[in-house]
Structure 1
Amino acid sequence: MLPERLKRRVIYESNWIDLYADTVRMPDGSIIEPYHVLHYPHSSVSVVIYNNKDEILMLRSKRYIAGGLEWEIPAGRVEENESPEDTARRECLEETGCDLEDLSYLGWQNPQNGMTDLLVHMYAAHVRTEKDNFDKNEVDSKIWVKRDEIMDWLKSNVIHCGVSMLTLLYAERFYAK
C-alpha cells in the first residue's frame, strides 16, 4: 500500500514550477496535512561532455540561489515540443559553445523524490566542435578537467550540484568511451 492523496490545494502555479499543499493518507492510516509538493511541468537534462584528451568540460555557473559561482555540467529544461535529446544538444551549444557527437542516454533521475517530481534525463557525449561563445548571464567560465581530477573534485566536495554529481558518476560508470 502506498500513500494516497486525498485532496490538493494550489499554492502557486506557473510554467516553471508549481507548489501544492496535499492531504495524504499514509499506509498506516495516519494523515499528513499539509504535505508540500513541488511539481515541475517540464523535465530537464544534464550532460557530461568529454574531449579526446580524456577530459570533462566543467562550467562555473552563476547561481543566484547558492549566492555564488558553482561548478556544474551543462543542464536545462526540456521545452514544449522538444525531445530530451534535442534539449541536451541545445543546452550544450548555448551554455558551452559545444556541438556534440556520440550523444548517449544514461538514464533518468528524480533528485528529491520525497518532495518533488522533477525528472532529469542524463546524457554523455563527445565534443565535435567548440566555440568560445556561451551564455555569459548564466556561465562565468568553462574549463576542461582530467577525468581523474573530476573524481577528486567529487570526493573533496568541490561540486555541490546534486544533478551534476550523479550524472558525472553515471557517465564515468556507464558511458562507453
Structure 2
Amino acid sequence: MAHFEKKLESKEIFQGRVIRVTLDKVELENGRTSSREVVHHHGGAGIVALNEKGEVYLVRQYRYALDRELIEIPAGKLEADEDPFEAAKRELGEEAGLQADTYVDLSPMIPTCGYCSEIIYLYAAKDLHPVGQHLDEDEFLSVFTLPLEQAVEKVLSGEIVDGKTCTALLKLKALRDAGRF
C-alpha cells in the first residue's frame, strides 16, 4: 500500500528570493487532519570533478546559516525551470574554473525531506580542462584538491559534513571502485 497525505489548503507565509514557505492543512490516510510547514525551493545542482591524478576539486565556503566554513563540491541553486545538468556544468566553471569532456549522472538526492521540497541533482566529471574561475560578486570561496580516498576519509571522520558533498564523494568512490568511472 502506498502511503499518502492529501493537501486540503495552503497558506503562503513567506516569499523570498531563494525560498517560499507555506503552512498546509493535510488529510492523513486515517482521515484525520494535520498541518505541514513546507519550504519550497527550486533545487540545486552539484558536481564532483576528478582529475587524472585521482584528486577531486572541493571548495571551502563560509555558510552563514551555520556560522562556519564548510568543505563542499562545486554547486549552486537552480533557477526556475533550469536544466540541472547545465547548472552543474555552469557551477563547475564558475567555482572551480573547469570544464569536462566526460560527465556521469550520480542521480538526485533529497537533503531534507521532512519539510523542504529541495532536490539536488548530482554529477561527476572527468577529462578536465581549465576555463578560468568566475565567481558571482557575492561569492567567496577557495578551491583545492584532495585525493578521492582522502576526501572519502574526511566524510567518514566527520570533517566533511555537507550532505550533497558526502553523497557525491561516496557515489563517485563506489563507481570508481567498480570500474564504472
TM-score (norm 2): 0.87
Check conservation: 1:72, 1:164, Cα contact below 8 A: yes
Tell me if the contact between 2:105 and 2:124 (Cα under 8 Å) persists in the aligned partners.
yes
Partner of 2:174: 173
Q: Secondary structure at the match of 1:89?
A: helix
Q: Which residue does 2:107 correspond to in 1?
A: 107
Percent identity over the alignment is 25
Residue 18 in structure 1 maps to residue 3 in structure 2: no
Q: Report the CA distance shift for 1:63/1:38 in structure 2 as closer, same or farther (over 3 A).
A: same
Aligned partners of 2:154 and 2:115: how far apart in 1? 28
Q: What is the aligned length?
A: 175
After superposition, residues 1-177 of structure 1 pair within 5 angstroms as 1-33=3-35, 35-40=36-41, 42-80=42-80, 82-130=82-130, 133-135=133-135, 137-174=138-175, 176-177=180-181
C-alpha change, 1:82 and 1:28, in structure 2 (3 Å) is closer
Q: Deviations over 1:129-176 (max 9, x none)?
A: 236635384343111101111111011111121111112212222363
Q: CA deviation at 1:27?
A: 1.5
Encode CA deviations 1:39-77: one digit per residue, 9 max, x unaligned: 11x231111110000111111012111212110001112
Q: Point out where structure 1 has 5 or more consecutive residues left out of the alignment.
A: none
Residues 131, 139 of structure 1: alpha-carbon distance in 2 compared, 3 angstrom cutoff? farther
Residue 30 (structure 1) shift = 2.5
Deviation at 1:15, TM superposition (A): 4.6
Equivalent position amino acid for 1:47 in 2: I
Report the AA paired with residue 78 of structure 2.
Answer: V
Superimposed CA distance per residue, residues 102-145 of structure 1 (whole angstroms, 9 cap, x where no aligned partner): 01111111111111111111100015223663538434311110
For residue 29 of structure 1, report the CA deviation from its aligned partner. 2.3
Inter-partner Cα distance in structure 1 for 2:32 and 2:171: 38
Deviation at 1:25, TM superposition (A): 1.6
**Closer, same or farther in 2 for the Cα pair 1:129/1:156, shift >3 Å?**
same
User: If the length of structure 1 is used for normalisation, what is the TM-score?
Assistant: 0.89
SS in structure 2 opposite 1:172? helix
